[in-house]
Amino acid sequence: MTEIRTGSGTGTEPIIEFADLRRSFVVRQKAGRVRRTKKIVHAVDGVSVRIGAGEACGYIGANGAGKSTTIKMITGILVPTSGTVRTCGLDPVPQRRVLAREIGVVFGQRSQLWWDLPLRDSFKILAAIHRLDPEAARERTDRLVDGLGIVDQLDTPVRQLSLGERMRGEVAAALVHSPRLLVLDEPTIGLDMISKERLRHFLITERAERGTTLLLTTHDMSDIERLCDRVLVVDHGRLVYDGTLPGLAQRVALQRVLVVDLWEPRPPLHLAEATHIGSEGDGVRQRLAFSPHDTTAARVLAEVSSQVEVRDLTLEEPAIEDIVRTLYHST
């Protein structure tokens, strides 16, 4: 990961802070022909977090775990049932318009750009809405558009853009007014690898240069790996982990997999350091799982080499979906 300037750290007001945050919904369901039952769903069930300026947090969890609901409460769309939330020191729903100047939000599923107008116009309109100085706004837009690689798309109506182009446009739109906090709700969903990488790279640079705080919900673990230095895992409305990503991997202690390609088909290898979990091509490729807790990749490789000649190898990191899943099960 590139060098990241962390925020001013302790002593300054957190950018986002919620204490014992709760949000419940009443869900009406049909139970049988005519009757309706009411069920209370606790989307967010007592979560407390402090996020300081300049941090980059990933917010992950299964669908329905409460991610979007929390985002809505942070950004002023939804009111908590109980508990407090402060974003940039403001109470989001009552002070929604003041808050809107300080934060930028990117919704993965919804667009904040003007659908039938050229992309360029969306930026101009947003600059006017935020009452930015036109010169400064234009400069800022140019830099954003440049950094995100959408200069050629400026005159295309938004509805004709590809998903990747549109998402980059959304991020630019969210940053036009140089907010202190950027919230992204599933920004890389449906994007191709190149667009994803472009977006991530840009966010990293933006953060490094301006110290923008980042809050990101995503299903893509590589987003977290690339962008975030802090991970928050939610399950059924509760916070089940709050720390670093390596820490998470370690806590759940899943196995890494060494994939070796041999010169010729071989029966499954028997090893002390690792377990054979699969073969491909009749034994030409073999997958060996080991626990990073007990041994290292180097030792496993050494043992393998002592038995056969290795032609090529790959190391697979723990599938982070599995990490998260294991974490759910362990709590």
Binding site for other proteins (CB under 8 A): 23, 72, 75-79, 81, 93, 96-98, 100-101, 103, 105, 107, 109-112, 114, 116-117, 121, 124-125, 128-130, 157
Nearer to other proteins, 100 or 252 (CB): 100
Let me know: does 277 contact 289? Beta carbons within 8 Å. Answer: yes
CB of 219 to other proteins, least distance (A): 19
CB of 165 to other proteins, least distance (A): 18
Residue type, 146: D
Nearer to other proteins, 103 or 320 (CB): 103
**3 state SS of 10:** coil
CB of 100 to other proteins, least distance (A): 4
Cα(297)–Cα(304) distance, rounded to whole angstroms? 11
CB of 58 to other proteins, least distance (A): 20
How many Cα atoms sit within 13 Å of 221 on the Cβ side?
16
Instruction: State whether the Cα torsion 101-105-109-114 is positive or negative.
Output: positive
Q: Which helix (H) or strand (E) holds 208?
A: helix 193-210
Nearer to other proteins, 81 or 295 (CB): 81
CB of 137 to other proteins, least distance (A): 12
Strands 285-290 and 275-280: antiparallel
DSSP 278-328: EEEGGGTEEEEEE-TTT--HHHHHHHHHHHS-EEEEEEEPPPHHHHHHHHH
Q: CA 34, 39, 40 angle in degrees (round to 5)?
A: 155
Nearer to other proteins, 78 or 274 (CB): 78
Nearer to other proteins, 181 or 254 (CB): 181
Beta strands in 163-309 (DSSP E): 181-185, 213-217, 230-235, 238-243, 256-262, 275-280, 285-290
Nearer to other proteins, 98 or 302 (CB): 98
Nearer to other proteins, 117 or 284 (CB): 117
Let me know: does 112 contact 174? Beta carbons within 8 Å. Answer: yes
CB of 178 to other proteins, least distance (A): 14
CB of 127 to other proteins, least distance (A): 9
